[in-house]
Amino acid sequence: MFTTIQPHQTAQNRDLLIKAMKLRKQVFADQLKWNVPVQDDMEYDIYDMMGASYVVWCSEDRETMYGMVRLMVTTGPTLLHDVFHATHDSSTDLIADDVWEGTRMCINETAIQRDFGLDASQAFNRLFLGLAEAANALGIRKLVSNFEACMSRIYRRAGLRYDLHGKADGYGEKPVFCASFEVTPAVIAQMQQKIGIPFPLFRQPEGFLRAVGIDQPRSPRLAA
């Protein structure tokens, strides 16, 4: 299932959120060898403590984490503006309460292949669609992301059209791009048709709040 964890839901979703952070550690620290903070077999940083929301793809019993994305409103601290500002020349057009940053997108390829028979590209397609549906429910108008060129092919396969805001060197071996994606019912319908999934993936959890315009509380620490 695809669901969300908002800041006010962190306590009751602690176990699920820990699974998401452990997946992040496996992907970004272990596999990709990124220089990211790791503690207690989890990867999380200061932005996870600043009112982050999460879209998670997990099993119905919530025991298996298949994928996740972190969402941050761009009117507050974000990697987009604090770190990757050179990729969009510090554009103020990307600061609004209905424009949100998506980061730390990752999937559990082994579990997805085992349980659904999907390859990585097909899995990302589903995660993109679930993300778009969740973002629309949250009231988000536009999602912004930084990525390397190889991701553009994956976006196109998912039926995503994006506006490119710029790119910059100096963040790694390859240039980093910045692009934004409109979130509308029409975009979601196009993605459903492209992917071949004519039904909603996202399920609103109990206590779900439309986030735009709401002053969300900060998330508590994950570590014991």
Predicted local confidence at residue 172, as pLDDT: 73
Helix (H, G, I), strand (E, B) or coil at 95: coil
pLDDT at residue 76, rounded to an integer: 94
User: Which ranges of the chain have pLDDT less than 70?
Assistant: 213-224
Report whether 181 contacts 142 (CB < 8 A). yes
- Which pLDDT score is estimated for 219? 47
Cβ–Cβ under 8 Å, residues 48 and 219: yes
How far apart, in whole angstroms, are the C-alpha atoms of residue 100 and residue 109?
26
Specify the CATH superfamily of domain 2-195: Gcn5-related N-acetyltransferase (GNAT) (3.40.630.30)
Question: With contact defined as beta carbons under 8 Å apart, do 143 and 127 qualify?
Answer: no
pTM: 0.91
pLDDT of residue 211: 84
pLDDT at 178: 92
Q: Please report the pLDDT score of residue 158 as a whole number.
A: 80
Are 91 and 165 in contact by the 8 Å Cβ rule? The answer is: yes
The contacts of residue 78 (CB under 8 Å, 6+ apart) are 47, 72, 101, 103
List CB contacts of 109: < 8 A, sequence separation 6 or more: 120, 123
- Judge whether 207 and 8 are in contact, CB under 8 Å: yes
DSSP strand pairing (53-58 vs 2-5):
antiparallel
- Segments making up each domain of the chain, as ranges: 2-195
Q: What are 178's strand-pairing partners?
A: 146, 166
Residue of 211, 81, 93 whose CA lies nearest to 146 = 81
